[in-house]
C-alpha cells in the first residue's frame, strides 16, 4: 500500500487527533516488546562458529577483569544472530575472539573447522582477511580515499586483481545503495552512508562471516532500518553468516536468533 494513502486513512480514522495516534502507536510498541521472544529456528546447515568454554581475563594493572566466563555456543552457516547484552557484558570481547583479533585466556574458538589457537599470527591475519568481514566503529574509513577505494582496501591486502577489484567494488557500492556516491569522501557522507561503506568494505572479500559491533549505535530509527536490511541482503545475496553485537532489543529480535550475554556468560 502507498504510504501517503495509508497515513491519510489513519488520520481519517482518528479524526485528525495526532496525539491519540501517538498514544496508540506507543501502546502497540510496548505490547510488542512484552511479547515472549520468538522461538529461534536453528537451521540444519553445518556449524560455522563454535566456542567451547571460552574465557577471557584482562589485566587492569594488578586486578584481573573477567570479560568472558566459560562461554560455549554454536552458530550455523547462514544464520543471523544477535549477541545482546548491556554495556560491559563482554559482547565486543566475544566478537573479537570469533574474529581472531585477540586470543582467549582458555577454551577454543573453532571457525569453519579450524581451531584459531592452532594458527600462527601470519595465518591468523590471512584467516581474518579471507573469512571475516568486520563492521566495527573503530575501523574508520580512510578520509583520503573515496567510497570505492575505501571498499577496495581489504581486496588490496588479499591481492585481488585490479580490474576484478574495481568491478566488485562498484557492484557492491550499487548493492548497498551508494551507486550515486562512489566518488565521495568520508566528510561528504552521512552517518548512515558511512555505515553502508563499512558494510560494503566488509563484503569485498566474499567473507563467510560478517561481524558487526553495534552497527546501528549512532543512527536514527529509519537509517538503522535500512542498515538492518543490508545485513539481510548480505546473508540472502552474498551468503554470509551474520553476527551482530547490540544492546538494542528491537534490532536483536529481528534476527533469527538472540544470544543473551550478561557478566561474561551466555544466558540460558
Ligand atoms: N583491553 C581491555 N583491558 C581491560 N579490560 C577490558 C578490555 N576490554 C574490555 N575490558 C573489560 O571487559 C569487560 C567486557 O568489555 P566488552 O567486551 O567491551 O563489553 P561490551 O562490548 O558488552 O560493552 C568490561 O568490564 C571491560 O571494561
Ligand atoms: Mg562493546
Q: Residue ranges per domain, the chain?
A: 3-33, 47-266
Q: 69: CA distance to ligand 1 center in Å?
A: 12
CATH class of the region 47-266? alpha beta
Supply the pLDDT for residue 132: 94
Question: So what's the pLDDT on residue 37?
Answer: 61
* Continuous segment of H or E residues that includes residue 192: helix 191-203
Q: Which residues line ligand 1 (CB under 6 A)?
A: 58, 60, 65, 67, 85, 87-93
> Taking a C-beta distance cutoff of 8 angstroms, is the pair 151, 186 a contact?
no
Q: Closest Cα partner for 242 from 129, 91, 92, 134?
A: 134
User: Which residue shows C-alpha cell 488520520?
Assistant: 11
Q: Is-contact 28 250, C-beta < 8 A?
A: no
Any idea which ligand is nearest the CA of 262? 1
Q: Which residues of 133-144 are buried (b: 16+ CB within 10 A; e: fewer)?
A: bbbbeeeebeee
Q: Note whether 155 and 169 are within 8 A (CB).
A: yes
Q: What is the DSSP letter of 132?
A: E
Sequential pLDDT tens for the chain (268 residues):
678 888 898 999 899 999 998 888 888 877 766 666 667 778 899 999 999 999 999 998 889 999 999 999 999 999 999 999 999 999 999 999 999 999 999 999 999 999 999 998 888 988 888 899 999 876 778 889 999 999 999 898 888 999 999 999 999 999 899 999 999 998 899 888 998 999 999 999 889 999 999 998 878 888 888 889 999 999 999 899 999 999 988 889 889 999 999 999 999 7
Ligand nearest to the CA of 86: 1
Q: From ligand 1's centre to the CA of 71, what distance in Å?
A: 15
Residue 88 near residue 245 (C-beta atoms within 8 A): no
Cell of 187: 566528510
Counting ligand 1 atoms within 8 A of each CB, the residue from 66, 88, 247, 267 with the most, and so the one to mutate, is: 88
DSSP line for 50-101: EEEEEEEEEEETTEEEEEEEEEEEEEETT-EEEEE--TTSSHHHHHHHHTTS
Q: How far is CA 53 from CA 79, 88, 91, 265, in A?
A: 21, 19, 15, 10
Pocket test for ligand 1, best of 90, 99, 105, 217 (most atoms within 8 A of CB): 90
Amino acid at each position: 500500500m502507498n504510504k501517503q494513502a495509508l497515513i491519510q486513512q489513519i488520520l481519517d480514522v482518528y479524526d485528525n487527533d495526532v496525539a491519540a495516534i501517538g498514544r496508540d502507536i506507543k501502546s502497540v510498541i510496548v505490547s510488542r516488546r512484552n511479547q515472549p521472544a520468538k522461538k529461534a529456528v536453528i537451521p540444519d546447515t553445518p556449524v560455522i562458529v563454535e566456542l567451547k568454554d571460552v574465557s577471557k581475563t584482562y589485566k587492569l594493572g594488578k586486578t584481573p577483569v573477567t570479560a568472558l566466563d566459560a562461554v560455549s555456543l554454536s552458530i550455523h552457516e547462514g544464520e543471523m544472530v544477535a549477541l545482546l547484552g548491556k554495556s560491559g557484558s563482554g559482547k565486543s570481547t566475544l566478537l573479537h575472539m570469533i574474529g581472531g583479533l585477540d586470543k582467549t585466556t582458555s577454551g577454543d574458538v573453532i571457525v569453519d573447522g579450524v581451531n584459531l589457537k592452532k594458527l600462527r599470527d601470519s595465518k591468523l591475519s590471512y584467516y581474518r582477511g579471507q573469512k571475516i568481514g568486520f563492521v566495527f566503529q573503530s575501523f574508520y574509513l580512510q578520509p583520503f580515499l573515496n567510497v570505492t577505494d575505501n571498499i577496495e582496501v581489504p581486496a588490496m591486502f588479499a591481492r585481488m586483481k585490479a580490474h576484478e577489484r574495481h568491478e566488485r567494488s562498484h557492484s557492491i557500492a550499487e548493492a548497498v545503495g551508494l551507486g550515486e556516491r562512489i566518488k565521495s569522501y568520508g566528510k561528504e557522507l552521512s552517518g548512515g552512508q558511512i555505515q553502508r561503506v563499512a558494510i560494503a568494505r566488509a563484503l569485498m572479500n566474499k567473507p563467510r562471516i560478517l561481524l558487526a559491533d553495534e552497527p546501528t549505535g549512532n543512527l536514527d530509527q529509519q537509517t538503522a532500518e535500512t542498515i538492518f536490511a543490508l545485513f539481510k541482503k548480505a546473508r540472502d545475496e552474498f551468503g554470509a553468516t551474520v553476527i551482530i553485537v547490540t544492546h538494542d532489543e528491537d534490532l536483536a529480535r529481528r534476527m533469527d536468533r538472540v544470544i543473551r550475554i550478561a557478566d561474561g556468560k551466555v544466558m540460558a
